[in-house]
Amino acid sequence: MIKIAVDLLGADHDEKLLAGAVKALKSREDLFLYLCGREEEILPALEEAEIPSTHFEILNSADVITNHDDPMRAFRAKPESSLAKAMGICKTDPEVAALVTCGATGAVFVGSVMSLPRIGKLKPILVCEVIRRDNKWLCISDCGANIDCDENSLLDFARVGSTFMRAQGVKDPKIGLLSNGSEDGKGNALTRKAFPLLKESGLNFAGNIEGIHVLNSDLDVVVCDGFSGNILLKTLEGAAKSALEEMTVLAEKLEGAEKEAVLTLAAEAYKKYDYNALGGAVLLGVGLPVLKGHGSANEETMNTLIRMAYDLAEGGLVEKLKAEYNAPEHHS
């Protein structure tokens, strides 16, 4: 049985999160969820879906942490919140393999970093997956947790990103270093120092990668400081959506089936770049992966997040990270 803690409150449409959790439970036989939210809403939904009681435990939460709460104080101020309960069970039940939430970003990450154990000397790292042109997944590591870093941090982002992809079944993940040019000598002071470390790391390092080639690359991991990674991630989404919105504007001059065809395909392509709906960001380097979906998450988002958490647990992500980061050779 794979155990996952799920925070069901704090998003725009909490009823959709519950529906997604129910869907996930229906689709996996060896999945157990700690469901943190309003018991009076959760229980009827589970009963209606005929989920056996051996597959869940409800942690009734009378309170919710919102974006209006101070992230630093939210946990102490709201011990009865769904997020605090979810964090709590991660600490008390060592079998919990992942935490899934679509709650207030600041509180999720501050709470995770403050209350969950660390893996060796590893710092928390935020990764996010985008879809390449060839429909394979690409991980951006780090995409926002570590804004100012040194070259050793970039090496950690590469290692953790690689392990993250291996846990999802990618063999010997190919790693690129985000830079302002593809030649070896390109980069800023930080990436030029990181480059030789990556080259000597034993990882499958393919050199520098430019923003224009990220999506049509064959890379599995793009390594960058959290500031650049955040710009990369958000610009990928913003530009792709902008181009597709442009298509719908241009379609205004068409009529009938032709207009319909353009709008339908633009909507279909749009999904590929709607990174929030696709899943979310994953915080690694704390005792278990914390999967954070967007506040606008729907049933499918929650289902996807739980499936991803399940896959990471099954792929032995945390065990792999522990093996790497507790091993003497990485303690340097």
DSSP state of 286: B
Q: What is the DSSP string of 90-158?
A: HHH-TTEEEEEE-S-HHHHHHHHHHHSPB-TTPPPEEEEEEE-TTS-EEEEE-SSS-SS--HHHHHHHH
Smallest distance from the beta carbon of 318 to a second copy, in angstroms?
27
- Using CB under 8 A as the criterion, what x/- string covers residues 64-83 for binding a second copy? --------------------
The Cα–Cα gap between 141 and 176 comes to 10
Choose, by CB under 8 A, the member of 40, 50, 171, 257 that binds a second copy. Answer: 257
- Is 315 one of the binding residues for a second copy (CB under 8 A)? no
Q: What is the DSSP string of 40-92?
A: HHHHHHHHHTT--GGGEEEEE-SB---TTS-TTTHHHH-TTBHHHHHHHHHHH
Choose, by CB under 8 A, the member of 265, 319, 326, 327 that binds a second copy. Answer: 265
Cα–Cα–Cα angle for 61, 35, 95, nearest 5°? 120
- Is 262 one of the binding residues for a second copy (CB under 8 A)? yes
Site for a second copy in 12-51 (CB under 8 A): none
Site for a second copy in 105-144 (CB under 8 A): 133, 144
- Is 167 one of the binding residues for a second copy (CB under 8 A)? no
Count of residues touching a second copy (by CB under 8 A): 56
Choose, by CB under 8 A, the member of 61, 228, 303, 304 that binds a second copy. Answer: 228
Place of tokens 């994953």: 282
Choices 70-78, 85-93, 165-173, 177-185; region in contact with a second copy by CB under 8 A? 177-185
- Is 274 one of the binding residues for a second copy (CB under 8 A)? no
The Cα–Cα gap between 155 and 329 comes to 14
Choose, by CB under 8 A, the member of 8, 96, 178, 312 that binds a second copy. Answer: 178
At 63, list the tokens.
Answer: 């309170």
Choose, by CB under 8 A, the member of 77, 114, 147, 327 that binds a second copy. Answer: 147
Choose, by CB under 8 A, the member of 91, 121, 199, 234 that binds a second copy. Answer: 234
CA 329 → CA 117, 132, 151, 287, distances in Å? 21, 34, 18, 20
Nearest to 64 by CA among 6, 7, 4: 7
- Is 150 one of the binding residues for a second copy (CB under 8 A)? no
Cβ proximity to a second copy: between 166 and 259 the closer is 259
Choices 12-20, 110-118, 160-168, 183-191; region in contact with a second copy by CB under 8 A? 183-191
User: What does the H/E/C string look like for 242-265?
Assistant: HHHHHHHHHHHHCCHHHHHHHHHH
CA 19 → CA 25, 37, 61, 275, 306, distances in Å? 10, 13, 17, 20, 12
Nearest to 223 by CA among 236, 239, 205, 240: 205
Smallest distance from the beta carbon of 154 to a second copy, in angstroms?
13
Site for a second copy in 194-213 (CB under 8 A): 210-213
Choose, by CB under 8 A, the member of 77, 188, 199, 327 that binds a second copy. Answer: 188
Smallest distance from the beta carbon of 126 to a second copy, in angstroms?
11
Smallest distance from the beta carbon of 76 to a second copy, in angstroms?
22
Counting every residue written for the chain, the total comes to: 332
Smallest distance from the beta carbon of 183 to a second copy, in angstroms?
11
Nearest to 208 by CA among 232, 177, 186: 177
Point out which residues bind a second copy (CB under 8 A): 133, 144, 147-148, 178-181, 187-189, 191, 210-216, 225-228, 230-247, 250-251, 254, 257-262, 265-266, 268-269, 272-273
